[in-house]
Every structure is written in C-alpha cells, then in structure tokens.
C-alpha cells in the first residue's frame, strides 16, 4: 500500500511520500535508544510541563489538524475537531496524574518483616523505546492514548502509522518536537507494513502496542512472542447493544444511531449488533430505523454532515460483501443497503433484520454504518446472543432493573459494560477487550503501567 493521502470523498490522491529506507530507520532507532538513556531520568514535573505544552499546541492547531484528518480518512470535520480536543484533554490528564499513578508502592509492614527485609517497595520504571502500530480510523486519538502515558512514564515512542494518514503521522512527531520534548522522544516511521517485523525484532525496541485488525495483531504478537517482548493489542469489536423492556426506548433508539454511525461507523467500539427484547422490539426498531434514515450523508468537510465516506475503496467493498451475503441468506433490509452513485467511497446508513448465525455479518465485524437487529425473548437469550461472537471489546445495555444490571455485569464477555449510554473512552478508565479483541489495557493507571518494569526493591535487615 503506498504511503499517501487519498481523499475518500472523491478518490483524489493529494500527497505521496517515499518510505524511509534502512539507513534512516537505523538512524531513528539509534536516536530513540540514545534519547531514552537521558529522558528516562527526567522528573515527572518536567515531563508534565512538556505534555501540557503539547496539549496547548494541539488546541491551537485544532482547526487545521481536524481538516487534515477529515481529508485523509473522511470523518466529519466536527468529529475530527472533537477528536483533537479529546486528545488534548487526555494529555493533560496524564500530565497531572502520572506521578501518583506510578508512585512507589509499599507492601504491608507485616509482609516486609516476614520477608526478612528492613524495607521493601515496588517501583515502576520505564522499559525503553516502544513501537506503536496504529490505525487510520482515529488517527490522533489512537496514538495519543499510547503516547501520553508512555512519555509520562519515561519511555520513548516510535510510531508506525497507517499508510493512508501520513500527514497526521508527521504532525504528531512535529507536535511533540514543538512542545520541547527531546529529539528522539517521539518519532514517526514512514514505512510500509512489511518493515514492521524487522523493526520489532531490533533489540533496541523493547515492546509494542497495536490497534488494528485481527490479522495484524496476530502478526505483531507472533514476532513479539518470538522475541519475548511485551505487547498490548486492541483489535476488532462487534459490540452488542442490548435493549430491555425497562429502558427509555426513545433515548435508547436515539443514542443507538450515534453509537452505530460515529466515525462513519468505522470504530471498534461502535455498537454493531442491536439485541432487543421482543416486548419493545417493534417500538425500538421503528425509532432506530427512522433515525438512521434521517442522517445527513455528504461532504465530510461540511459542518452539517453526520456521515461521510468510508476511508478506502477496499473498506467499502468489504462492507458491501457482508451486506450482500446477509441479504442472499435471508436478511431483511430495513433501510440503506445499496451503494450510491457518484464519486467517493460512500455507503448509506443501513439496518438489517432477520440475522442468522450462518451469515458472515453475524461472525465478522462490519466496519461501516451497518447495523444488525436481533429479537430476543428474555435476558438469558440476550446474553447468549451478545456473547455469540469471537470478539469481546465493549458492550452496551439499556435497563433500569438492578437485578438485570448485576446479571449483565457478571455474564457479558467484554472489556466494558456501559449501561444506559454508549461506549466511550476516557483517560481515567481502562480500555481493552477479551477474546479476539485483544489483551492488555490502555488508559487509566492500568494503561500507563503496561510498559513499565514493575520492580521489587528489597533491603535486608
């Protein structure tokens, strides 16, 4: 895949870049290693000062970087600006909380005495250069949620971004440079996916994090496992959105629309499978389909646009194949389902009903504005359908019954359970999944400690 900005609204190639050669990659790896030796010793206060400066610069750049993201991958420009604002907020959160999150921990005095020590503690120390392999769908946020905690922990970052968002990738390196971080603290590697293995095998790279597809995750995890290096993987999702009879149906249906089409439906944590109790199925479906039909689809740079194009021609083709397979196998199209004429990689908001387990869309992630509807008889069936997926990233449940809340928290196989609202990430809460959605956690204290050497310090009596 070429490293290029291709506008998904019209298919026009705007900028192309040459991939970095072996000599430049080597230079950057040497720089990362050298920078880490000194950066790791900086005080938290200094790291926080630099991170706050980077957040301030990002706020100042919000309009321009928002347009860049929209031009590169097609998200509505209002959502792009909101993504930039969210990144700045999270950078400040880590700047303000990293020191306490990584503070030394002292075991109970009785355990210290029992171990024969006069003193003992646990200290979190940085690992070194961390390789981040990041996707195009949230081209700022996916990187910042790795970079902010990694840099605040004293690590340095190497970014291999998706090849269709090179301008955003280069902007991120420049952002940290302008903020005053030492040269080499955060570097963008403009390389194709074929270069990842050799970089990851390099002894100077100590760990890796990947957000992306399941095949990409398997490939990175395989190499990292061979080299015995720590990895964090955030892969696909096919999140359930369960609606029970006690729910506020109007609100559940309204938020369901946003939950499905956020980022043009190209989000791992977007609700994709709508599992509705039979007692409220018809009422929910009527409102949900009406909301999907009412969405404004168009130029992602227009302020009124709610759904823009998919990020790539291949992505649209993959989505079409899932829909066509479902329809051929008996699914009912309640709205959408047909590619529009004209330029760009648009696909309409689509709702499919009468889904069966034999359909590909039941097993595979639909990465675009396509929702599947399931009618269930009771809570037990709702849990069964919700868990009938190889993924387990997050989940959404609408109920005002406390007993049902307890059951869903106990039984849903997912990294998060969001009640009476849609899944969203926040720096204070851990983010990640189970099953084929990956392992490890980003964000919160759990995320900042993922790439730390958790060190026992013991002093003899």
Six-digit token string for 230: 């720590």
User: What are the residues whose beta carbons fall under 8 Å from the beta carbon of 354, sequence distance 6 or more?
Assistant: 330, 331, 332
Residue pair 367/391 in contact by the 8 Å Cβ criterion: no
Phi, psi of 104 (to 5 degrees): -55, 140
Of 249, 173, 245, nearest to 20 by C-alpha is 173
Q: Which residues of the chain have pLDDT under 70?
A: none
Q: How many CB atoms are closer than 10 A to CB 170?
A: 16
Of 326, 247, 249, nearest to 282 by C-alpha is 249
Q: Report pLDDT for 461.
A: 85
Six-digit token string for 379: 């809570």
Q: Are strands 370-376 and 418-419 parallel, antiparallel or unpaired?
A: unpaired
β-pair partners for 373:
274
The dihedral sign for the CA sequence 140, 214, 426, 51: negative
Residue pair 210/234 in contact by the 8 Å Cβ criterion: yes
Residue 143 DSSP label: H
State the Cα–Cα distance between residues 263 and 276, nearest whole angstrom: 24
Q: Report pLDDT for 26.
A: 98
Q: How far is CA 452 from CA 110, 126, 155, 184, in A?
A: 27, 5, 8, 19
> What does the angle CA 383 – CA 280 – CA 375 come to, to the nearest 5 degrees?
45
Of 196, 382, 365, nearest to 281 by C-alpha is 382
Q: How far is CA 182 from CA 51, 165, 194, in A?
A: 12, 24, 29
- Residue 231, Cβ density class (10 Å: 0-12 exposed, 13-18 middle, ≥19 buried): buried
State the Cα–Cα distance between residues 237 and 243, nearest whole angstrom: 19
Secondary structure class of 230 (helix, strand, coil): strand
Q: Report pLDDT for 330.
A: 98
- Residue 240, Cβ density class (10 Å: 0-12 exposed, 13-18 middle, ≥19 buried): buried
State the Cα–Cα distance between residues 236 and 234, nearest whole angstrom: 7
Q: Report pLDDT for 374.
A: 98
State the Cα–Cα distance between residues 347 and 295, nearest whole angstrom: 12
Q: Taking the CA atoms of the chain, what radius of gyration do you get in angstroms?
A: 23
Q: Report pLDDT for 298.
A: 98
State the Cα–Cα distance between residues 347 and 317, nearest whole angstrom: 10
> What amino acid positions are annotated as catalytic residues?
234, 268
State the Cα–Cα distance between residues 239 and 2, nearest whole angstrom: 31
Of 328, 346, 324, nearest to 337 by C-alpha is 324
- Residue 381, Cβ density class (10 Å: 0-12 exposed, 13-18 middle, ≥19 buried): middle
Q: Specify the DSSP element, H or E, that contains 57.
A: helix 44-60
Q: Specify the DSSP element, H or E, that contains 83.
A: helix 77-101
Q: How many residues does the chain have?
A: 461
Secondary structure class of 330 (helix, strand, coil): coil
Secondary structure class of 118 (helix, strand, coil): strand
Give the distance, in angstroms, between the CA of residue 294 and the centroid of all CA atoms in the same chain: 27
- Residue 197, Cβ density class (10 Å: 0-12 exposed, 13-18 middle, ≥19 buried): middle
Residue pair 25/202 in contact by the 8 Å Cβ criterion: no
């Amino acid at each position: 895949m070429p490293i290029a900005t291709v506008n998904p609204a019209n298919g026009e190639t705007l900028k192309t870049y040459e991939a970095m050669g072996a000599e430049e990659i080597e230079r950057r790896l040497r720089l990362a290693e050298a920078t880490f030796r000194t950066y790791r010793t900086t005080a938290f206060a200094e790291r926080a000062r630099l991170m706050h400066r980077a957040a301030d610069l990002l706020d100042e750049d919000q309009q321009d970087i928002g347009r860049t993201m929209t031009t590169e991958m097609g998200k509505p420009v209002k959502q792009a600006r909101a993504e930039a604002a969210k990144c700045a907020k999270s950078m400040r959160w880590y700047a303000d909380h990293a020191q306490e999150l990584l503070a030394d921990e002292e075991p109970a005095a009785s355990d210290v005495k029992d171990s024969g020590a006069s003193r003992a503690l646990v200290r979190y120390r940085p690992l070194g250069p961390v390789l981040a392999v990041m996707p195009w769908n949230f081209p700022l946020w996916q990187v910042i949620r790795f970079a902010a905690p990694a840099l605040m922990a004293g690590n340095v970052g190497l970014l291999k971004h998706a090849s269709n968002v090179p301008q955003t990738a280069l902007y991120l390196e420049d952002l940290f440079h302008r903020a005053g971080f030492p040269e080499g603290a955060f570097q963008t590697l403009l390389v194709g996916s074929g270069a990842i293995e050799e970089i990851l095998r390099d002894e100077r790279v100590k760990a890796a994090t990947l957000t992306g597809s399941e095949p990409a995750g398997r490939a990175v995890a395989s190499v990292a496992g061979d080299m015995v290096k720590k990895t964090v993987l955030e892969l696909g999702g096919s999140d359930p959105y369960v609606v029970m009879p006690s729910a506020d149906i109007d609100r559940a249906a309204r938020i369901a629309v946003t939950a499905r089409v956020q980022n043009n439906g190209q989000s791992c944590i977007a609700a994709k499978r709508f599992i509705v109790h039979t007692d409220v199925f018809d009422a929910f479906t009527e409102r949900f389909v009406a909301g999907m039909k009412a969405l404004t689809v168009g130029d992602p740079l227009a302020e009124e646009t709610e759904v823009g194009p998919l990020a790539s021609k291949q992505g649209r083709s993959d989505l079409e194949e899932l829909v066509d397979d479902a329809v051929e196998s008996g699914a009912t199209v309640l709205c959408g389902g047909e590619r529009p004429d004209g330029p760009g990689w648009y696909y309409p908001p689509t709702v499919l009903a009468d889904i069966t387990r034999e359909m590909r869309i039941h097993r595979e992630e639909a990465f675009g504005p396509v929702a599947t509807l399931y009618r269930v008889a009771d809570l037990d069936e709702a849990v069964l359908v919700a868990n009938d997926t190889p993924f387990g990233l997050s989940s959404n449940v609408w109920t005002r019954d406390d007993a049902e809340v307890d059951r869903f928290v106990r039984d849903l196989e997912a990294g998060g359970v969001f009640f009476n609202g849609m899944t969203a990430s926040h720096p204070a809460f851990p983010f990640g999944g189970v099953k084929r959605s990956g392992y490890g956690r980003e964000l919160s204290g759990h995320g900042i400690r993922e790439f730390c050497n958790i060190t026992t310090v013991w002093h003899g009596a």
